[in-house]
Amino acid sequence: MELRDQEISIVGAGIGGLAASVALAQKGARVKVYEQAVALGEVGAGLQISANGVAVLEALGLREAAAQLANTPEAIVLRDYRGGEVSRLKMGATAEARYGRPYWQFHRADLLRILEEGARSAGVELVFDHQLSGLSSNEAGVLMEFEDREAILTPSLIGADGVRSKVRTLAFKGQAATFTGQVAWRGLVPAERLPQGLFENAAQVFMGKGRHLVVYPLRGGTLINFVAVEERADWAEEGWNIPDSSENLRAAFKGFAPAVQTLLSAVDETFLWGLFNHPPLPRWADGRIALLGDSCHPMLPFLAQGAVMGLEDAYVLAQNLSVASTFSEGFESYEKARKSRATRVQNGAARNAWSYHLRNPAFRGAAHKVLSLVPSGALLRQFDWLYGHDVTKRG
Ligand SMILES: Cc1cc2nc3c(=O)[nH]c(=O)nc-3n(C[C@H](O)[C@H](O)[C@H](O)COP(=O)(O)OP(=O)(O)OC[C@H]3O[C@@H](n4cnc5c(N)ncnc54)[C@H](O)[C@@H]3O)c2cc1C
């Protein structure tokens, strides 16, 4: 289908929705993105973007802008909760040489800004303060209803509205999500509040009984990002921005390494996420409607791939639409091209939680010992299928 002048609506201006808008607009489509927020906000969180995601940024012409704001970690270091090093996976130049592109870390707001600028310069129209509340399809197209706004008819619709997707709920059947028994705190601490050199330029994972904490620097080391995961029986709401007391966080990680205690003592503001398992959706595409990113394959954060998969989806979706004869055909071939990979990543992320949280101290000690004997090169090779995949080079 010649995409030039085709009208496409996207709901959700997150990483996936914005990337799709750029990819489609660069192929000539007239793209509008409807976002419920009044502007793209500063959600305080870091995102790791591996080489397979950088490939998409590069193909969209955004690599240079992204490089200005990215942090490139030298290593991924796994540590016992007390701080002892278990294993060290060399990243930096080693990962870049292996995969042809760097492994980067961003403040989420920085990556959103790069994509927003890319979208605006490709001619995308961003429509804020529009919360999708209803959908119905007829021969003319899809009628989108918005809270306190006029309804809009669109020839095609892409749902990129995240983990609690309204488009998924309204247009696709799926099984209910189940609480994993894990919650995650996320936050940022200005480095000036911490002793100099407290954390090296690496993604470090401190692994303890039923909990782990990931920490890495951002914005040239001026901010320290953390994600702290704890197993618990009680339920927490899924989604963004649930404020929680930093006292709860400190209590959960009492007994962890001194560097972790120092970091957490400087936390004023933190947000809590409930982590949920979502069984793979039977379908991601139906006629004039398709889903991408977290709206169709939400995943646990333990492979750091949710946003990266949204980038891959966005590129493949635009590619498939541009060679199809109808929206329906293009959306179906996109689903076919992406489903097995996204499902594999979803399953891989779920398995990692278990290995970080080994409860039995003897078993944990033995597992860490085995891990410490694996050479860095062999550890990195395990990720070839993930980081070495380049959607921009596939037919
Ligand atoms: C603790 C944690 C750590 C993570 N770390 C990483 C990492 O290191 N690397 C990585 O790749 N991923 C990571 N992720 C996952 C990543 O954050 C998500 O996968 C990614 O943000 C999903 O992008 P998206 O565009 O699909 O959805 P979102 O970013 O959630 O965007 C959805 C957008 O849709 C809008 N919206 C929602 N409903 C409506 C509506 N009804 N009408 C209009 N607009 C609507 C929202 O306001 C939002 O702007 C992590 C996740 C967590 C929880």
Atom of ligand 1 nearest to the CA of 13: 49
For residue 241, what are the CA distances in angstroms to 43, 46, 237, 267, 302? 8, 14, 10, 16, 19
Contact 86, 368 (CB under 8 A): yes
Residue having the nearest C-alpha atom to atom 52 of ligand 1: 301
Predicted local distance difference test score (pLDDT) of residue 15: 97
Atom of ligand 1 at shortest distance to CA of 308? 11
The residue type found at 383 is: F
- What is the spatial order of strands in the sheet that 242-244 belongs to? 85-90, 75-80, 202-208, 211-218, 223-231, 178-190, 270-277, 242-244
CA distance 213 to 186: 10
- Per the DSSP assignment, residues forming a β-bridge with 214 are 205, 227
Percent of residues, the chain, with pLDDT higher than 90: 75
- The more confident residue out of 351 and 151 is 151
Per-residue pLDDT, averaged over 230-243, amounts to 74
**Per-position DSSP letters for 154-177, written without gaps between them:** ES-EEE---TT-HHHHHH---PPP
Per DSSP, 146 falls in state E
Q: Higher-confidence residue: 268 or 122? A: 122
State the pLDDT confidence band at 243, using cuts at 50, 70 and 90: confident
C-beta of 203 in contact with ligand 1 (< 6 A): no
Q: Residue 365's pLDDT is what?
A: 66
| CA gap 361, 23 in Å, rounded | 49
Q: Which atom of ligand 1 is nearest to the CA of 12?
A: 34
Of 32, 35, 91, 182, best ligand 1 pocket probe by most atoms within 8 Å of the beta carbon? 35
The full set of domain ranges for the chain reads: 7-176+278-393
Segment among 162-166, 233-237, 285-289, 356-360 with least mean pLDDT: 356-360
CA–centroid distance, residue 113 to ligand 1 (Å): 14
Q: Is 278 in the pocket of ligand 1 (CB under 6 A)?
A: no
Cβ–ligand 1 contact at 276 (below 6 Å): no
Our answer on whether the CB atom of 34 is closer than 6 Å to any ligand 1 atom is yes
Q: How many residues does the chain have?
A: 395
Average pLDDT of the residues in 151-164: 96
- Asked if pLDDT for residue 371 goes beyond 90, the answer is no
Residues 41-68 have pLDDT tens digits of 766 689 999 999 999 999 999 999 999 9
Please, are residues 220 and 106 in contact by the beta-carbon 8 Å criterion? no
273 Cα nearest atom in ligand 1: 53
Q: By the 8 A CB rule, do 324 and 330 touch?
A: yes
Quickly state the pLDDT bin for 10 (edges 50, 70, 90).
very high
Report whether residue 144 contacts ligand 1, using a CB cutoff of 6 Å: no
Question: Residue 3 burial (CB < 10 Å; 0-12/13-18/19+)?
Answer: buried
pLDDT surpasses 80 at 360: no
Question: Could you give the residue numbers annotated as active site?
Answer: 216
Decide: 310 in ligand 1 pocket, CB within 6 A: yes
CATH number of 7-176+278-393: 3.50.50.60
259 vs 77: CA distance, rounded Å: 14
Write the residue with the smallest CA distance to atom 21 of ligand 1: 307
Please tell me if the CB atom of residue 301 comes closer than 6 angstroms to any atom of ligand 1: yes
Bridge partners, 127 (sequence order): 34
* pLDDT recorded at residue 177: 86
Q: Please, which pLDDT band fits residue 3 given cuts at 50, 70 and 90?
A: confident
Residue from 47, 113, 166, 284 to probe ligand 1 pocket by mutation (most atoms less than 8 Å from CB): 47
